[in-house]
A and B are shown apart, each in its own frame.
Chain A
Amino acid sequence: MKKIMLELNQVLNYLFDFQFCLAPLWKGRARGIYSNENQIYQKIRYLTLITLILFTISCSLDRTNPLDPLVSGTNAPNEVTNITVVTTENNTIIISWNSVNTVDGYYIYRSQSYDGLYELIPEEINASVSTYEDTDVNIPGNFYWYKMSAYIELNEGRLEGYRSEPKTWN
């Protein structure tokens, strides 16, 4: 019984000792402060130090965006496929695509270079259409690239699906 109490006392001393998890890393061992102690206590210190660091880095940020599929439980719309871009003689570009099921509308982005800044065309394109005529262009001497995406309306706002690869006319 006495031996158990002594062991318990020693363990408690280590638990309440602030050097508990630090001493073996630097000086404790080198100075021989803990030379007579049981190997188990040294392992406990290492484990505590590692646990402390792992615990702190295991904390994650909360997902608070209501449009996040992992929060709302709603899947994002599929990517728009089969996009074709053609030019007409009267300075207009016609973009057509395959309709995507269960979406509420589309976004079209336009840029004058492939990897440039794509600006959203500020016109509402609803889900029932599958072509768009872009008249705000000046075709002779200019090139235009288009990206498309579909969106769904949720109570918290619009959730936009993945954008397509840039397309232009041949």
Chain B
Amino acid sequence: MNKYLIVFFLFLSTLLFSEKFNIEEFTNPAKYNWENMEDRCKARDDLDSRQKLLQIYELNKQQIIRNMIKSAFAPGWGHYSSHDYTKGHAFIASEIVLFGTSYYFYNRAMDDYHNYEDSHYIGDIKQLYLDANSNYKYSQLFFSLGAVVWMYTIYDSISATQEYNQNLWNDLSKKLHSQRVLITPIGITVRF
């Protein structure tokens, strides 16, 4: 019982400290620096234009997760989508070089290894195994470097996408403020 009383009194005390809702103050346009109706209309226009801008931005922006998945499938694809062609070229080229080199050493390693398996001469057995193993290690090294670069490509596609989206927003807002006539998905706006 005491517990309920304490809760009740706590509730009452909150009412004591609460302020009365002042509708006059809430609706006072002066708090937004609106001196007259014209200011209010300008602010509304500005809000409208920013909303339209946001809509265009939402339509054109790149999804980070989508670009990450693209980069996971093919290194550099996420960067191409984000119009970061230099990095896209660099990543795809480095992946081709690294995995190509890895494949080259792997082939050499397997050739030496098959010869080692068929060899009867002790000199060949020892030398071919050493050659096969060292080529195999080079192959593994280049493969792991390729994997690291691939992982980095996925990581870097995040920043590339963010940069693309930032540039898109900057371009859109620059265009909006420089153009007198705007064609947007929801209509045409003319500035005087």
Which A residues lie at the B interface, using CB under 8 A? 18-19, 21-23, 25-27, 31, 49, 52-53, 56-57, 59-61, 63-65, 67-69, 76, 149, 151, 157-163
Contact = CB atoms under 8 A, between A and B. Distances in A.
B151 A22 contact: yes
Contacts of A162: 122-123
- The 5 A-B pairs at the shortest CB distance, nearest first, are namely A76-B122, A56-B144, A160-B121, A56-B140, A19-B155
A101 B152 CA distance: 61
Given A22-B155, A23-B155, A67 B120 contact: yes
A12 B35 CA distance: 55
Contacts of B113: 61
Interface in B80-121: 109, 113, 116-121
A22 B148 contact: yes
A159 B120 contact: yes
User: SS class of chain B's interface: helix, strand, loop or mixed?
Assistant: helix
Contacts of B118: 65
A160 B120 CA distance: 6
Given A26-B156, A64-B117, A151-B120, 13 more contacts: A18-B155, A25-B152, A52-B144, A56-B141, A57-B140, A61-B132, A61-B133, A61-B136, A65-B117, A68-B125, A157-B120, A158-B120, A160-B121
User: SS class of chain A's interface: helix, strand, loop or mixed?
Assistant: loop
Interface string B8-26: 0000000000000000000
Given A59-B140, A159-B120, A52 B148 contact: yes
Interface in B144-169: 144-145, 148, 151-152, 154-156, 159
Contacts, number: 73
A53 B120 contact: no
A118 B171 CA distance: 76
18 contacts: A19-B155, A21-B148, A22-B151, A27-B156, A27-B159, A49-B148, A56-B140, A57-B137, A60-B137, A61-B113, A63-B129, A65-B116, A65-B129, A76-B122, A159-B120, A160-B120, A160-B121, A162-B123
Task: Determine which residue in B117, B122, B156, B159 has the highest number of CB atoms from chain A within 10 A of its CB, and name it.
Answer: B122
Nearest to A59: B140
Interface residues of B, number: 28
Contact of B133 (A60, A68, A163): A60
Contacts of B152: 22, 25-26
Nearest to A19: B155
Given A19-B155, A49-B148, A61-B136, A67 B125 contact: yes
Contacts of B151: 18, 22
Contact of B119 (A19, A60, A67): A67
B77 interface: no
Contact of A57 (B122, B125, B141, B155): B141
Contacts of B132: 61
